[in-house]
Structure 1
């Protein structure tokens, strides 16, 4: 049945894709710059790689103000990057609807984020800014063969600029509204002793928040960030090179602007064990009522004495050695160590009433080692490798509030801590075999073996009285440990056909998996619940598996480039993150299976010598096939037909126009206008109907629907200004979110009792000045 569905889907779309490919020959003659990527562990033209890829590089990164994963929202088809509730530093990224919204480090992402080929590790702390970027590559679809675990949706690879060995640089500053100030510098030093080349870059940013908080010194949404990057290249010999890079980030700012949007949650729709709105509303509910806000808030008060804050410190070391064995083969070693310290103080209700707050501290480290053999022989290109990855981390969480007593007069506190560890080993290989002059088949396979460990230590609920300023020593009453081993084979096979040297059609089948683990924040089940199969914090959930089928066409013809892909993806043993009724402790279970299908279209055209247009569109249809869970009566039901899929917007679109307006005696006047659109999406797996026979206790889709957001960004620059010295200057005026549109981008239904929303940023305008030599 599955194969028939895939065949029918492919046959319906293949004629369209072929016609798109041949249509490319009709474009104009002004040449575009060539785009290269490293999606297959070697540098290749983007039109030669049988994968759906978006690459943004060079001046486009600066013009579009892309400095990290958060800046990619709306810029790439079928990519959705939203900050998690509370923290603007935790990602809920998804590609083609596949990803993970769980912010804790006991859960793994479904979209792998890489810096120079090194895996970042977790959603927590992944939305930091990058310094001295050369390009960003977004690989859609499972990348389980070459990138491995936790890429069921795809991968995002940030590639930083390597040293040139020549004295050059860029110094700049930026000012804007909300007190925005940015200083940055990037310098390439001359090659030392014909061996050592260095690039040193740094960036500092400050910006005031935009939402007032009467109970804190800083407004919600301010920015205070520092970043440093060092890249070194050692030319040891003609055939052997060594690279070292150091990246550091230090962020200390207030949390995402938020407000109380509803004083009721899904418990107001259902009557199930764990939902007690009649107890909540007379006490806390009544105390919260005066602070309820509709629409974009004008001001949000946090609990007095609790200053909402997020702090992130990341240090990453990467070392790479490569040597040419002969003219056709290279051995490459990549090693890394990354250390992350994350801290946040979060108000989970957006009122001065001490309803629910939390303090979270995480220390997380990763080590990785990879050896690659990259080469060719006759009509074969190949890459093979051995990979080792190890991580360990600990999170300490203090939770405080009247939520635990349902009274604003009885503030309780408790602590829930956990430790995580991973040791993963993998071997992989992939090769391009030329069947004939035009046709190539690319099979690949990866085997992964990993061991996960987890432990928790916590108080017995929030049972200690809280007194502001009084010493607190938690009484740890509950502990547990777990260990589990997971293995997976993740093959891929692609078939491509060259229509001519610059245009091809392709088909690809690929598998991926997201690691299993332990829901270390889950409540400890009673003996009766254990008998019913309810999982505890050290009962492992199994890996999530994805299979993707896609056909596409891509190419470049002088003044234009294009790419079109149609895909169908299946997800099994799906990780579903939920907040049990009446609980503040999230869990993950292998509850579902789902189907994702859609299209991705991208194109660029140089309309004249001075004007270039680029566009991208993604369509996505996502639905659950199976979702076995407890229904409203406690009986097991298949809730699939009554559920929406989270973080899967149906449409994403971007259009960018970049033009040179005039040549003047003062420099070249350039302009850029960009439109980005992300359709509405749901931020929870939620019920379409709360009264359906297969409804489940949990969120209501109408409450969980985040509005669509379309934004216009623009930039006007005067480049190549002759100001003296070895280089030239550039001055720019820019605006982000020109129409000042703001929407709720995430929300949280707190245990079914009330809801808080997290808001997108308002219009920002500014001016920048750069001197390049």
Structure 2
């Protein structure tokens, strides 16, 4: 039986058993949140409402489910929500490549924003760095699929991962956990809540640490590579005088040191293959990825942040203000050629800061109309200095000493927006939802080498993005809805441009028109959510790496608008509480995508100099697997000492490409147009079959609630890449996903 047939059979069997089912749920809700026991409350539309009453494709994951699955970070969400891909990007600290419904941005440059927003306690993280989030002390996570720009941050054309951490409780309590596992992986985490002071001030302190030796081996010595050491610590203070007003201040800092190891994927068609040992050329993208040959790297990352949220209840109107500030400093070396020959080694020094301010008002007008309106401001500043040791053949020289012509990039973003979202129940069972957002972005960027300005530019982009939908609720157990929404991602400048013409030329915004129909159904203990969508993706922003004889690094990567694409999909996710002790969860996502008129300029293969048209329309979109699926079961067995909880899950991720690249050429190679025959197969991950399991014993330990968990991830040891990249006919490299791992976790809470 093929993988795909197996997945369909498993999901069909589980659906036959359960009848129907919803997104992952929150087991316990407060009386204020839940009208009925077990009801799932989400804030997907910036208002508290039951999941099954929300006409949005959203998957909700609560703290208990994270604990049962022994989930560690945001990457463990991959596959649990339909059409969701999350991988770690090791060219940036705590950086994530996120894709929802085939819309993604897979890069770490801070002058460009991700297409999927990660929002933490109401603050939008404006760069992929810092998005790979730790999962301890989480209250709830919501994965919103489709454009969410009306209510969430900016540029969220693919969707949003909305993370809400726990608030201070006002009661003395400690939650602590320690884990040890394969690859010498050690994690310690603790949250301490202090008693309320003066009946108004509650406080919480937290500290997380995790470290690992990494899962790569150095080919020459056999030593472990890819180490990581991560610290995250801070405090939250909740001021609640009980008069309808509260204020929450969180101060925190993340410090990370790691080895951004990459594996060699260079083959005989590329220049570097003739300069490196033969055994390091032509390697595969599965088992070979776990052996590396390059020089040691190190990345140091420091990122403090402040979040300040205020809420006021004025009776008919609720006011919310969310202020966020984040900054980061990074110093990273990386051997990008991934070989034992010193060919392309860099030192990147970066500084970034962002400030955001959002104010919202929400309320009801009568019994049939409610609203959320607000304003948003965002600013960021970015500086990059990169020293490149190119063809030095001497790895003892510091890149900063070798490169007398370093690259210096400075970028700024200023964005303002106003938005509104409205519900009108114009009939007993019918509701109209509508709204929109007007955004104005101003961006500037300068690019210099060796102190000499190559190019600079400034441009303003603005767009109104509407959303309208209708839902029908014939009874309490069914809701059908249809919607149209538009997403917008700002234009900008190419930070890796090395020529004057391209460094000063802006690329335009990209837009998505998303048409969606769906249904949410509840039948006793079983819920099912279905959605079908068509996304019209216009003026796509795509990176294209070109040979550049006049550039300091002999190549430049240009972002440009390259035509359009259509993405169609189907989604289903469910929860079935078959008994109070036995829960099934599942998800299925289907994607079908196609480029149109994706034509860019490229260097003629005939003479290596003339720029001629290349047609990439037949290539696959990146991070677009044709299917994602998951099925998991959680069983709780009461015991004499407490209870045992077992969880086993299977995730299937279809193969997908990670870079628009050249797998073959046909047509007129001298004058164009040249037809590109798909992406390079070396940037394609194979289909993944991931099995995870955990067994937890919960028991009383000297008056504290304790748990001991044995866990295993990727138990089938399915090996392959998370990221692959080819560089303009020169060389290629990739990174590997975590192989089979296992360990033990001991936790206490009192």
- When the two structures are superposed, what TM-score results if normalisation uses the length of structure 2? 0.88
Query: Among 584, 592, 597, which residue is 1:613 paired with?
Result: 584
Q: Is the 8 A contact 2:543 2:557 kept in 1?
A: yes
Do the aligned partners of 1:576 and 1:590 also contact (CA within 8 Å) in 2? yes
Query: Is 2:267 the partner of 1:263?
Result: yes
- The aligned counterpart of 1:343 is 331
| Residue 648 (structure 1) aligned to one of 601, 605, 624 | 624
Q: State which of 695, 706, 717 in structure 1 corresponds to 2:674.
A: 695
Query: Equivalents in 2 of 1:658, 1:377: separation in Å?
Result: 43
Residues 688 and 695 of structure 1, relative CA distance in 2, 3 Å threshold: farther
1:518 counterpart SS class: coil
Q: Distance in 2 between matches of 1:638 and 1:580?
A: 12
CA distance in 2, matches of 1:323, 1:218: 57
Pick aligned residue for 1:396 from 385, 402, 414: 385
| CA-CA distance at 1:590 after TM superposition | 0.7
Q: Distance in 2 between matches of 1:86 and 1:25?
A: 39
- 1:674/1:584 Cα in 2 relative to 1: closer, same or farther (>3 Å)? farther
Please say which of residues 183-192 and 576-585 is displaced more in the overlay: 576-585
3-state SS, counterpart of residue 93 of structure 1: strand
Are residues 1:331 and 2:319 paired?
yes
Alignment of 1:471-482 (within 5 A): 476-482=451-457
- SS of 2:224's partner is coil
Q: 1:508 to 1:435 in 2, by over 3 A?
A: same
Q: Quote the Cα distance in structure 2 between the aligned partners of 1:371 and 1:302.
A: 49
Alignment of 1:299-698 (within 5 A): 299-303=291-295, 307-326=296-315, 328-378=316-366, 379-402=368-391, 413=403, 414-459=405-450, 476-525=451-500, 535-581=501-547, 583-630=554-601, 633=604, 637=613, 639-660=615-636, 662-687=637-662, 689-692=664-667, 694-695=673-674
For 1:174 and 1:250, how far apart are their aligned partners in 2? 20
| 1:62 Cα offset (Å) | 1.9
Alignment match, 1:7? none
2:685 paired residue number: 706
Q: Distance in 1 between matches of 2:444 and 2:307?
A: 26
Q: Do the aligned residues in 2 keep the contact of 1:453 with 1:484 (CA within 8 Å)?
A: yes
Residues 597-622 of structure 1: CA distance to partner in whole angstroms, max 9, x if unpaired?
11110001012221100000110111
Matches within 5 A, 1:58-137: 58-84=63-89, 86-87=91-92, 89-137=94-142
Distance 1:426 1:494, change over 3 A: same
Q: CA deviation at 1:72?
A: 2.1
8 Å contact from structure 1 (residues 644, 701) kept in 2: no
1:249 paired with 2:254, answer yes
Secondary structure at the aligned position of 2:95 is classed as coil
Q: Which residue of 1 aligns with 2:6?
A: none
For the 8 Å contact 1:196–1:234, the answer to whether it is kept is: yes
Q: How far 1:53 sits from its partner (Å)?
A: 0.6
- What is the match of residue 735 of structure 1? 712
The alpha-carbon distance between structure 1 residues 85 and 747, as it changes in their structure 2 partners (threshold 3 A), is farther
Tell me, which stretches of 5 or more residues in structure 1 are unaligned? Answer: 1-18, 269-276, 460-475, 526-534
| Cα distance in 1 for residues equivalent to 2:94 and 2:706 | 33
1:35 aligns with 2:40: yes
Match of 2:696 in 1: 717
SS state at 2:59 partner: strand
CA displacement 1:494-520 (0-9 Å, x = unmatched): 111113124201011101111111113
Is 2:741 the partner of 1:770? no
* 599-608 or 33-42, larger mean C-alpha shift: 33-42
Q: Which residue of 2 aligns with 1:273?
A: none
Structure 2 alignment gaps of length 5 or more: 1-14, 28-35, 549-553, 605-609
CA contact (8 A) 1:329 1:373 kept: yes
Distance in structure 2 (CA, Å) of the matches to 1:760 and 1:749: 18
Question: Which stretch of structure 1 is more off in the superposition, 444-453 or 697-706?
Answer: 697-706
- In the alignment, the residues of structure 2 paired with residue 753 and residue 391 of structure 1 have an alpha-carbon distance, to the nearest angstrom, of 34
Distance verdict in 2 for CA 1:502–1:692, change over 3 Å: farther
* Counterpart residue number, 1:291: 280
* Preserved CA contact (<8 Å) 2:21 2:576: no
Find the aligned partners of 2:660 and 2:98 in 1 and give their Cα distance. 15
Structure 1 residue 431 displacement after superposition: 0.6
Alignment of 1:157-196 (within 5 A): 157-196=162-201
- Pairwise CA distance, 1:139: 0.8
Change (3 A) 1:62 1:341: farther
The structure where strand makes up a greater share of residues is 2
Q: Distance in 1 between matches of 2:211 and 2:736?
A: 20
After TM superposition, the structure 1 stretch with the greater mean CA deviation from structure 2, 483-492 or 210-219, is 210-219
Partner of 2:31: none
Structure 2 distance, partners of 1:25, 1:55, is 13
Change (3 A) 1:345 1:536: same
User: Could you tell me how far apart the structure 1 residues matched to 2:663 and 2:569 are?
Assistant: 22
User: CA-to-partner distance for each residue in 1:116-148, whole Å, 9 max, x for gaps?
Assistant: 110111123322425411111111111121124
Instruction: Give TM-score scaled by structure 1 length.
Output: 0.86
Change (3 A) 1:698 1:453: farther
SS of residue paired to 1:126: coil
Structure 2 contact 215–224 (Cα < 8 Å) conserved: yes
Kept in 2, the 8 Å contact 1:128–1:249? The answer is no
8 Å contact 2:619–2:677 — kept in the other structure? no
Aligned partners of 1:54, 1:99: CA distance in 2, in Å?
19
Instruction: Name the CA shift for 1:87/1:144 in 2 (closer, same or farther; >3 Å).
Output: closer
**Partner Cα separation in structure 1 for residue 244 and residue 420 of structure 2:** 24
| Count of residue correspondences | 700
Displacement after TM superposition at 1:734 (Å):
0.6
Q: Is the 8 A contact 1:263 1:289 kept in 2?
A: no
Is contact 2:599-2:617 (8 Å) kept? no
User: For the residues of structure 2 that align with 1:138 and 1:218, how far apart are their CA atoms?
Assistant: 39
- Indicate conservation of the 8 Å contact 1:509/1:548, yes or no: yes
Out of 701-710 and 593-602, give the one that drifted further: 701-710
Moved more, 66-75 or 207-216: 207-216
Q: State the alpha-carbon separation in 1 of the partners of residues 185 and 21 from structure 2.
A: 46
Distance 1:363 1:159, change over 3 A: same
